[in-house]
Amino acid sequence: MKKVVKYFFLCVLLVVFAVCMIIILAGSFLIFADRNADDKDISKETAEEVSEDADRNTDTGVYEESLTEYLHQEAQVQELDIQVMENREDEMVFSFSIDDFIDSYNGYYWQDKNVRYLLPSLEWRAYLYDTAVHSRHRTSCCIFSKDETMPAFPTITVYVPSNGSYVQEITVDFDDHSYMDSLYNIYEEQCFYTLKVMFPDLADETITNLYTTLNQLAYDNVTTVKYTSDSVPCALYYRGGIGIYPYFALGESVHLCMIPVTQQYLDEMREKGVTVNEIQ
């Protein structure tokens, strides 16, 4: 009887051991299967990410290629019919648009370099302000830099009313605090072609002398007053309805500014002590 009981308990232990082993093996299989599924999911996600990165790189490549093609498309010289008009209350503007300016600039630049310089306005950085230097109304400030990776690279800025495509002001800007001869040469080139757009009938030598004189005035009359609506330039040169003046405030860039002017505005500047000279 004792032997029977002994064998009985031994059989029970064997059955329990076998059941435990089956449970352990089944659990291991499930864990392995789950991990394998996770690995597949991770591989799938990784593949999708790599695919998305490849698409982004491809899109970037196509985009940059399209800009390069644009810059190498021939640009015809377009002489602007520049008129001065009032857009909103006490806001004088030029009658041309920012895109007209870009097309004209590129035409003169192509004539000398066989390449365009300025990209379309949609590629420019743009900021919307409630007021501007020469307007009490909402204005877009559009900035172009040939090299966005270099903060000190000379820029061209065009101020555009929020309610239309006219131009309030154009400035050519140079960061003197990071001065390099190579960058200043680019700045002077930008001054030349911007003035060429505004005064196409002036001789190249006259344009060069004009921006050289104005830039020297900027350095000779550095001010602590930031470039705002309260700014008063040291001198204003004009021809017809186009006014040009230099401005250089400590901590800011050197600006060569082009604005629409009227006889009333010229008189106001004289009253403020500004030297006003007509461009011959």
11-33 pLDDT, tens digit each: 444 544 554 555 554 454 444 44
pLDDT of residue 22: 55
38 pLDDT exceeds 50?
no
For the segment 242-269, the average pLDDT, to the nearest whole number, is 98
Predicted confidence band at 66 (pLDDT cuts at 50, 70, 90)? confident
Predicted confidence band at 60 (pLDDT cuts at 50, 70, 90)? confident
Higher-confidence position of 33 and 42: 33
Half-sphere exposure of 161 (CA within 13 A, CB side): 23
Q: Is 141 helix (H, G, I), strand (E, B) or coil?
A: strand
CB contact at 8 A, 261 and 84: yes
Paired residues of 135 in beta bridges: 132
pLDDT of residue 165: 87
46 pLDDT exceeds 70?
no
Instruction: For 127, list phi and psi in degrees, rounded to 5.
Output: -130, 140
Angle at the Cα of 84 (from 79 to 89), degrees rounded to 5? 145
Contacts of 25 (CB under 8 A, 6+ apart): none
| Mean pLDDT value across the chain | 86
Which percentage of the chain shows pLDDT scores above 90?
A: 74
pLDDT of residue 170: 98
pLDDT of residue 58: 54
CB contact at 8 A, 197 and 104: yes
Distances (CA, A) of 262 to 135, 219, 266, 272: 15, 27, 6, 16
CA-to-CA distance for 129 and 260, rounded, in angstroms? 20
103-134 pLDDT, tens digit each: 999 999 999 999 999 999 999 999 999 999 99
Q: Which helix (H) or strand (E) holds 85?
A: strand 84-88
CA-to-CA distance for 172 and 192, rounded, in angstroms? 10
- Give the range among 30-44, 48-62, 89-103, 125-139 with minimum mean pLDDT: 30-44
Predicted confidence band at 187 (pLDDT cuts at 50, 70, 90)? very high
42 pLDDT exceeds 60?
no
User: For the chain, which residues make up each domain, given as ranges?
Assistant: 1-71, 84-278
Going by C-alpha positions, the residue among 212, 160, 161, 167 that lies closest to residue 185 is: 212
- Helix-then-strand count for the chain, H and E: 5, 10
The model carries a pTM of 0.79
CB contact at 8 A, 143 and 125: yes
